[in-house]
Structure 1
Amino acid sequence: MAVKVCITGAAGQIAYSLIPSVAKGEVFGAKQPVIMTLLDIPPMMKVLEGVKMEMVDLALPLLQEVIVTDDPLVAFDNVDAAFLVGAMPRKEGMERKDLLAANVKIFQAQGDALEKKAKKDVKVLVVGNPANTNAAICSKNAKSISPANFSCLTRLDQNRAQAQIAEKLKVPVPTVKNVIIWGNHSSTQFPDSRFAIVEKGAEKVPITTVNKDPAFAEYLKTDFIKSVQQRGASVIKARGLSSAMSAANASVDHMRDWWQGTKDRWVSMGVFSNGEYGIPAGLMYSFPVTVANKKVTIVEGLDINDFAREKMDLTAKELKDEKAMADSALEQKK
């Protein structure tokens, strides 16, 4: 039986990189057929028809059907998984509260449509920024779908952090594991390298054992954190456009691990807090997690020192403020 998958903002750059990976079997399995629904706003329907033509021209054996629509009720009908990529981008001079108000409208409508049409065990990944708060809004409007079935993308930040450590240590990127992203997908996030390891065969070596130079330890507490926090802005400055290719790749990583499991690896996902590590319950917050049988479990029992506590609380405060602004916008819409 085919897995039915929806991608929103499907005429955009992230989706253009994401769609082939999903259609080729890189997310749901190398033998798993897929039906894909592509959702965007009415002015983008001509572009989406062109995207559909290209998908057909890929001649992929797993892609059974492509549905193009501007109606969320059609897009989310009976879907097993959804990548919510489309969101209102922040424009020059736009205050954060205005950005949140614009996205409340989008994600409230999509939450309503998921509530009415999607399977109750649908897995919903929010990519569009501000991703944490957009995911919370969407979940709030899909009351019969478990909050555990909503998450937001911080895997991009994890991939950035992992790659920068690997480059510094001159080791292959896949050998670096257990780098953590705490909190918001924003410049307040806390990229935490304290538990990171390098796998050397069967041996798991802490990164500060691989490189014992005090300058490396200092880098991990200073420039490394700033570099990961500001990487998106750096890409925009260099490229003139946002991180589309790497965001699509991270979305593939996130949903693949959610669907197929993480085994012994920790990955970073934005999920609803239940009070773990002193983070207020109900916040969509990035934690280290493992996944088995599509169930996400937060890694618990990690030592939180004063340095980490300060940074984790700072990003939690930003999320609380965002949530308050979003809730206010929701109330005004009633």
Structure 2
Amino acid sequence: VVLVVGNPANTNCLIAAKCAPSIPKENFSCLTRLDHNRARSQVAMRCGVPATQVKNVIIWGNHSSTQYPDVHHCLVNISGSEVPCYDAVKDDAWLQGDFISQRGAAVIKARKLSSAMSAAKAICDHMRDIWSGTPEGEFTSMGVYSTGNSYGVQKDLIYSFPVHIKDKSFKIVDGLPINDFSRSKMDATAAELIEERDTALAFLDL
């Protein structure tokens, strides 16, 4: 198993996979769990519940400012009942605005501290889930190799998808409904990854 953390993580992961053709591409992943954990925490704080009561947020695409934290399929456990995130938060403008734009750089700037500990925990969470699996009915976010068969994402990209993990193998959670707002965000981050990939591979002559 190869986990790439250093930025540009997605494209670095793709380069690593291409430079090690004897290792199956599904053995490579890049870290978007830090962003996944942050998104859960933001929703949890907004709803006044622990982060453990928030599940199925999704980080789509690139580990960059174009990434799309999506909560259209997220559920929040409030007093024992699972409530769709949009109904729990009751602030569509925030969910489609500041929630998406306030990513890691904004957190570091506000705290005036590194997020190294949060990143370390995210790495542990990522590897633990690969080893132990994800609970039934829940998924996490990982940057994985796109075969071109999921959500219209072009083949030969490392793109963050929702994944379910069982027996140390991941499976992209397919078939989730995607609205127009989400589609535009997912396409924008894919376009950035395509540009990164084409630039990197041309420079490296891969």
Give the TM-score band, short-chain normalised: over 0.9
Unmatched 5+ stretches in structure 1? 1-122
Contact 1:159/1:250 (<8 A) preserved: yes
Cα offsets for 1:184-240 (capped at 9, x unmatched): 0000000101111013576422123334x3xx122111111111xxx3212432455
Q: CA RMSD in A?
A: 1.6
Aligned-partner residue type, residue 140 of structure 1:
K
Q: Quick one: which of 185, 199, 204 aligns to 1:311?
A: 185
For residues 59 and 25 of structure 2, the distance between their equivalents in structure 1, rounded to whole angstroms, comes to 20
Aligned-partner residue type, residue 100 of structure 2:
I
Please show how residues 184-263 of structure 1 align to structure 2 within 5 Å.
184-200=62-78, 203-211=81-89, 213=90, 216-227=91-102, 231-240=103-112, 242-263=114-135
For residues 188 and 108 of structure 2, the distance between their equivalents in structure 1, rounded to whole angstroms, comes to 25
Q: Which has the higher contact order (CA 8 A, sep 6+)?
A: 2
For residues 293 and 148 of structure 1, the distance between their equivalents in structure 2, rounded to whole angstroms, comes to 14
* TM-score normalised per structure 2: 0.94
Give me the identity figure in percent. Answer: 56
Please show how residues 141-180 of structure 1 align to structure 2 within 5 Å.
141-180=19-58
3-state SS of paired residue (2:162) = strand
For residues 98 and 79 of structure 2, the distance between their equivalents in structure 1, rounded to whole angstroms, comes to 29
For residues 203 and 255 of structure 1, the distance between their equivalents in structure 2, rounded to whole angstroms, comes to 30
Cα offsets for 1:83-105 (capped at 9, x unmatched): xxxxxxxxxxxxxxxxxxxxxxx
3-state SS of paired residue (2:151) = helix
Residue 141 of structure 2 aligns with which residue? 268
Please show how residues 1-334 of structure 1 align to structure 2 within 5 Å.
123-200=1-78, 203-211=81-89, 213=90, 216-227=91-102, 231-240=103-112, 242-264=114-136, 265-275=138-148, 276-331=150-205
For residues 146 and 203 of structure 2, the distance between their equivalents in structure 1, rounded to whole angstroms, comes to 22
Total equivalences in the alignment: 204
For residues 209 and 192 of structure 1, the distance between their equivalents in structure 2, rounded to whole angstroms, comes to 14
- The 1:326/1:241 distance shift into structure 2, 3 A limit, reads farther
3-state SS of paired residue (1:277) = coil
Contact 2:146/2:159 (<8 A) preserved: yes
Unmatched 5+ stretches in structure 2? none
3-state SS of paired residue (1:205) = strand
For residues 154 and 130 of structure 2, the distance between their equivalents in structure 1, rounded to whole angstroms, comes to 24
Aligned-partner residue type, residue 94 of structure 2:
Y
- The 1:142/1:226 distance shift into structure 2, 3 A limit, reads same
* TM-score normalised per structure 1: 0.59
